[in-house]
Structure 1
């Protein structure tokens, strides 16, 4: 590990060999009493045309700059927020070349190289870009991970540890956080007392919380651990949902760790360290 390269609080873990995390079984020996295998095929890359000659659509150019998704860019373009070579462009499908000067709301923009950084978040860091109260933020941990400005995908609360993805890929970030895509997360919850089988079954069957139905994809005791150690597989992105589930049944979550996010695991990623995703992992995320 090159400590000079990563002088911020967070450190880069060793390079990771490419692997398809979607064909691996969940680590049932260490985590869950049930195991499932999820598979995904990675499509072949399509060969793009010569961007410099053909140009790229303005909405894609804006999305590639990390501002927003292509769909959102269309709305901004229609509203007159984009200008090419000093002229406002509202035409859908308008193409620009890399030599063109493109401005968004008056600011010069340019396509960024997409970055994907996975952090194993420690406790006592909040998920925000900055904090006016001076609290430690996750951005301090990935400060040297990328020269491009990256953003957290979703959030983990201050006392929750585990996997947190950062990227400047606005389209992918929106996909991974939108409820319709049912992106699954797996948590290891440590409770203040043993979870009764009755309550476990009630959670598994689904229940109403704040006038909305809560459904977990899977819940089970963790093998060879006290029954206060529970694994929860869920796709809901509601705020503090795992903690609120157990609070509803009068349990306090003492520790909460996200061990899997969208097929990505904590393997070879110590707490407080980060790594770049492999090309295969990025492709898998885009296939979800």
Structure 2
């Protein structure tokens, strides 16, 4: 990088080597021979030797020196650049690495392309000239009503899910995955880009459970076929579990699956000549509706957030 770029040690956007050597020297002088405080750092130490009763003043001076030296060994205010971007709600860490390599990210006005760089929380981090700030991570669970689009905005001026969480928080949150316009049920919204990436990536196989109401009773033969797998235009797909919601009404079934393919539940039933008249997601990644009514939302509690982050 050019001369104007900050110096960092071990890929940390940090103080210069010269400053570290100066402070290391002070530390060595302070600790050598177990002497309380070096004369050069404590000009009043000679006075303390004459007046041994003034212990409070001496402790204050020792504390002052320790506070000056402490940042050398502490990195509590230091964070990896890709993690900063993720915590700012911009994207996941992996996506952040791509943005950094592309030269879209700058630290204190200087473009950083090297991966693994660490920055201070007090540094100014920008993405394409837009200054980023660390937001409080928010996790909002919405019971989506029908006839609403899972998108941030709609060019055709149709109702979106964002209209139901307008007053949820100041932070800008985004839907995790999507539900069809006429599908109801659980939808998670968050500004945690890293978690959102994990919950939507096929490799993590996140479980979803739906209550489906069909246009006619589901036969036992077709139930078994849906468990074994049926072939669609994009490959063979199967439900993990399927059961009748009511033994006397075989038009209502509860299905679980890990696939995240578009309109997969409706397409699977359509493959056997059934039409799904109503579809409601009753569970997502272990989260359940409980008493959350249609069109309402709630924040996830700490236990629920912790559970989602522990998912493999």
CA shift for structure 1 position 78:
1.2
TM superposition shift of 1:224: 4.4
- Residues 103-146 of structure 1: CA distance to partner in whole angstroms, max 9, x if unpaired? 11111111111100000011111100000111000000001111
Decide which of 55, 67, 76 is 1:51's aligned counterpart: 76
Deviation at 1:150, TM superposition (A): 0.2
Match of 1:270 among 273, 283, 293: 293
Q: Does residue 132 in structure 1 map to residue 155 in structure 2? A: yes
Q: 1:117 aligns with which of 118, 125, 140?
A: 140
Cα deviation 1:219-269 (Å, max 9, x = unaligned): 111134500001100110000000001111111100000000000001021
TM-score, normalised relative to structure 1:
0.81
Within 1, Cα distance between the matches of 2:294 and 2:137? Answer: 24
Question: 1:207 and 1:89, CA in 2 relative to 1: closer, same or farther beyond 3 A?
Answer: same
Structure 1: how far apart are the matches of 2:100 and 2:240?
Answer: 40
| Structure with larger RCO (C-alpha < 8 A, sep 6+) | 1
**Rounded Cα–Cα distance in structure 2 between residues aligned with 1:135 and 1:285:** 31
Q: Where in structure 2 are the equivalents of 1:124-163 lying within 5 Å? A: 124-163=147-186
C-alpha RMSD of matched pairs (Å): 1.1
Count residues with an aligned counterpart.
Answer: 238
Residue in structure 1 matching 2:128, options 92, 95, 105: 105
Question: 5+ unaligned residues in a row in structure 2: which ranges?
Answer: 1-73
Asked if 1:216 is matched to 2:239, the reply is yes
- From 173, 196, 207, the equivalent of 1:173 is 196
Normalised to the residue count of structure 2, the TM-score between the two structures is: 0.75
| Correspondences of 1:1-288 after superposition (within 5 Å) | 51-52=76-77, 55-288=78-311
Distance in 1 (alpha carbons) for counterparts of 2:144 and 2:153: 16
Runs (4+) of structure 1 exceeding 2 A deviation are: 49-52
Q: Distance in 2 between matches of 1:74 and 1:193?
A: 50
Name structure 1 gaps, 5 residues minimum. 1-48
Please report how far the alpha carbon of residue 211 of structure 1 lies from its aligned counterpart in structure 2 after TM superposition.
4.3
Larger radius of gyration: 2
Cα shift readout 1:127-178 (whole Å, capped 9, x = no counterpart):
0000011100000000111100000000001100000000000110010011
Structure 2: distance between partners of 1:51 and 1:137 = 41
Q: Indicate conservation of the 8 Å contact 2:230/2:268, yes or no.
A: no
- 2: CA distance, partners of 1:239 / 1:267: 26
SS state at 1:156 partner: coil
The C-alpha deviation readout for 1:175-206, integer Å capped at 9, x for no partner, is 00111111000000000000111111111111
Change (3 A) 1:135 1:200: same
Structure 1 pair 179–225 and aligned structure 2 pair: CA distance change class (3 A):
farther
Q: Higher helix share goes to which structure?
A: 2
